[in-house]
Amino acid sequence: MHNEYELLDSGDGRKLERFGGVVLSRPCEQALWLKDRPELWPTASACFDREGGWQAQLDAEMPTSWVASINGIALKLGLTPAGHVGVFPETRSLWDWITDTLRATPRDDISVLNLFAYSGGATLAAARAGCSVCHLDASKSMVLRARENAELNGMEEAPIRWIIEDVNKFLDREIRRGRRYDAIMLDPPSFGRGVRGEQYKLDKHLVATLQKCKTLLSENPAFMLLTSHTRGTTPEQLEGLLRDLLGSPGHTVSGEMELTGAAEVRRVPSGSWARWTRP
Ligand SMILES: C[S@@+](CC[C@H](N)C(=O)[O-])C[C@H]1O[C@@H](n2cnc3c(N)ncnc32)[C@H](O)[C@@H]1O
């Protein structure tokens, strides 16, 4: 699949990444080691620091908005005041798994729910497998961005419901309506806010959210995929949560999300994933 993202190097608490034609240097507290390729770092177009925000490198023009294809999904990118760019590239190998797993599911009417769906990478990974998707995020600007990304991929007519809502309010409503989904993916933040300022705290709300998701699973579900960027959350913890929730029959596996580049580039751990699949 066409890919224009790569991790170029990391070290000294920073990461150097290429998104299409734009190279960025950003903080990365996991990068405890020394830089392997210090000579590459002056190629960055812009650098982010928590104190000073984004700064263009000498002679480089500050990138504003551009498009990069990441594992076959075109995404509109831009620099945010928090140091983000509009994609979490450590999730890209999961997008491939989502597409492959849904394509291999022997049914053609699969409905997928994507919670905390951000700029839509996982939504589009499911939509390109021909599934109908419900994409939910509390941030209006992120849902607009995800819709733009669907257009960039020629999927503006794809069966995607775009919902701007607080996650738990939405789940309660879907349960009351008796809706069911064949696959559910969720990437809850450590702390977030719903549309009307509702607080979402991973440590306080995750188990209840997962129980609501279980209620919404169809009789013959394909999978549940849980990811987390919260510090201290391990693959085993997430896997245990899914095993407790869904158990057997089913298969639960977990692993680390990683930023990756060329084979010789040191991988940077960036969160955890766990998934439950029906045998
Ligand atoms: C960690 S990001 C998700 C990243 C995304 N899944 C990806 O990998 O590209 C968390 C998202 O959750 C959303 N969010 C936070 N609190 C929420 C809430 N209470 N209800 C719905 N969405 C919420 C934020 O707007 C943000 O887009």
Closest atom of ligand 1 to CA, residue 139: 25
Q: Are residues 43 and 132 in the same domain?
A: no
Final residue in a domain of this structure, among 78, 98, 127: 78
Q: Are residues 49 and 142 in the same domain?
A: no
CA of 202 to the centre of ligand 1 (A): 11
100 within a domain of the structure (yes/no): yes
Mean pLDDT of the chain: 96
Q: Are residues 138 and 42 in the same domain?
A: no
Residue 60, pLDDT score? 77
Q: Are residues 250 and 116 in the same domain?
A: yes
CATH of the domain at 11: 2.60.40.1180
Full-model pTM: 0.96
Q: Are residues 53 and 156 in the same domain?
A: no
CA of 175 to the centre of ligand 1 (A): 21
Q: Are residues 186 and 147 in the same domain?
A: yes
**Of 137, 164, 213, which is best to mutate to test ligand 1, by the most ligand atoms within 8 angstroms of its C-beta?**
137
74-79: list long-range contacts, CB under 8 Å, 24+ apart: 74/149, 74/152, 74/153, 75/119, 75/120, 75/121, 75/149, 75/152, 76/119, 76/145, 76/148, 76/149, 76/152, 77/19, 77/20, 77/22, 79/24, 79/46, 79/48, 79/54
83 within a domain of the structure (yes/no): no
CATH of the domain at 207: 3.40.50.150
CA of 167 to the centre of ligand 1 (A): 9
CB-CB contact of 40 with 12 (8 Å): no
CB-CB contact of 164 with 140 (8 Å): yes
Q: Are residues 118 and 218 in the same domain?
A: yes
Final residue in a domain of this structure, among 54, 78, 102: 78
57 within a domain of the structure (yes/no): yes
84 within a domain of the structure (yes/no): no
Range of the domain at 176: 89-277
Tens of pLDDT, residues 55-94: 998 777 888 899 999 999 999 999 999 999 999 999 999 9
**Ligand 1 pocket residue status of 118, Cβ below 6 Å:** yes
**Ligand 1 pocket residue status of 163, Cβ below 6 Å:** no
Q: Are residues 94 and 55 in the same domain?
A: no
266 within a domain of the structure (yes/no): yes
Tens of pLDDT, residues 23-43: 999 999 999 999 999 999 999
CA of 185 to the centre of ligand 1 (A): 12
Give the alpha-carbon dihedral of 63, 64, 69, 74, to 10 degrees: 180
Tens of pLDDT, residues 192-221: 999 999 999 999 999 999 999 999 999 999
Q: Are residues 73 and 93 in the same domain?
A: no
Residue 34, pLDDT score? 98
Closest atom of ligand 1 to CA, residue 200: 19
Q: Are residues 52 and 156 in the same domain?
A: no
Q: Are residues 115 and 224 in the same domain?
A: yes
Q: Are residues 183 and 251 in the same domain?
A: yes
Domain count, the chain: 2
